[in-house]
Amino acid sequence: MKIKDIISVLEEMAPLAYAEDFDNVGLLVGNSETESTGVLVCHDALENVIEEAITKNCNLVVCFHPILFSGIKKITGKNYVERAILKAIKNDIAIYAVHTALDNHSQGVNKIFCDALGLVNTKILIPKQNFIQKLVTYTVPENAQKVRQALFDAGAGTIGNYENCSFNSNGTGTYKGNSESNPVIGERHELTETEEIKIEVTFEKHLQSKILKTLFANHIYEEVAYEIYDLQNQHQNIGLGMIGEFETEMDEKDFLLFVKNKMTADGIRHSAFLGKKIKRIAVLGGSGSFAIKNAIMAGADAFLTSDLKYHQFYEAENQLLLADIGHFESERYTKNYIVDYLQKKILNFAIILSEENTNPVKYL
């Protein structure tokens, strides 16, 4: 099995198009055409993790955080990033990062976070914007079902919990072909009027080339009329953070002790107790201070995230309990999810969970 075959599975789990624009995801180091000897899954692809991959005969390291995040002009081994990259290159180890591609997935980082806490009725906290497009096309009635079904199979027509969604309206199409034309209906140089069906479907924008290729392959016309529009609609199943509920409410202190235990956190920084019960909880794995207002607007009793600064605790505005449980801790079970996913998709192949603890934050 080549590394590119494993990458295909990883992109099914976390499509790179879901990642934030600032992020650096995908294959960071290595050649996708190389035969893979095994996969080591980790949180951070540090030098000791690369050494672990060498020891365990894994030439692909799948990490959550990208070891290469910002621009780099030299690789001299002067810092932890360069040392990890040098060791990987010297030993033909490929590195692939998922990061916000998995953050934004409805079954990704924040769903894993919610599941660890036992939250129910979960939904995306900040739905992704500017990610949906609409295709409008026209064809004769006898071709309409074939075109629609092919578009559905290519990924179009999914809205929330519904599939095969489209809008269809009847009308009359007109055209007149020139001497170079080869009309399926009518003759060259003659004005043709024919009954047509207008088909409208939405799709995720990264599927555009696939959708158009499918349209052209299944449409009977020589020249296919179509339009594509960018929609302002939010994508309710893709986005950052998540909100859910406990089946039974808790006192604030009991809630934080529960979170500390479930997420194996060595310490939790939090805003002032408000003397209210905790039932509705917003979560955002990693650095989530930007989402405090979103959590408040969503009616959360508490917001769990990490990397909060001193003044950001004031932003709780006595409306919710704000808790920083630690960056690593909030994403703790992500690598376990990746291993489980790969093992279910790729049978009889070495998919190994890293034993290295790469959390750089320690507590007394």
- 71 pLDDT higher than 90: no
Which residues are annotated as part of the binding site?
65, 103, 327, 331
- 184 pLDDT higher than 90: no
Q: pLDDT, tens digit, for every residue of 326-340?
A: 999 999 999 999 999
Residue burial 195-227, b: 16+ Cβ < 10 Å; e: rest: ebbbbbbbbbbebeeebbebbeebbebeeeeee
Residues 6+ apart with CB under 8 A from 80: 46, 47
Split at pLDDT 50, 70, 90, the class of 161 is confident
Residues 6+ apart with CB under 8 A from 77: 83, 86
Give whole-number Cα distances, 174 to 136, 224, 243, in Å: 17, 13, 51
The 3-state DSSP class for residue 142 equals helix
Domains of the chain with bracketed CATH: 3-99+333-353 (3.40.1390.30), 106-128+239-330 (3.40.1390.30), 131-231 (3.30.70.120)
* Paired residues of 134 in beta bridges: 202, 229
- 144 pLDDT higher than 90: yes
* Paired residues of 230 in beta bridges: 133
Instruction: Report pTM.
Output: 0.89
Average pLDDT of the chain, as a whole number: 96
**Rounded Cα gap, residues 185 and 198, in angstroms:** 17
Predicted local distance difference test score (pLDDT) of residue 72: 87
Split at pLDDT 50, 70, 90, the class of 121 is very high
- 358 pLDDT higher than 90: yes
- 83 pLDDT higher than 90: yes
CB neighbour class for 288 (10 Å; exposed up to 12, middle 13-18, buried from 19):
buried
- Look up residue 254 and give its two tokens: 């009991």
Q: pLDDT, tens digit, for every residue of 11-33?
A: 999 999 999 999 999 999 999 99
Which residues are annotated as part of the binding site for a divalent metal cation?
65, 103, 327, 331
CB neighbour class for 187 (10 Å; exposed up to 12, middle 13-18, buried from 19):
exposed
Predicted local distance difference test score (pLDDT) of residue 317: 95
Cβ pair 151, 201 in contact under 8 A: yes
**Rounded Cα gap, residues 3 and 39, in angstroms:** 9
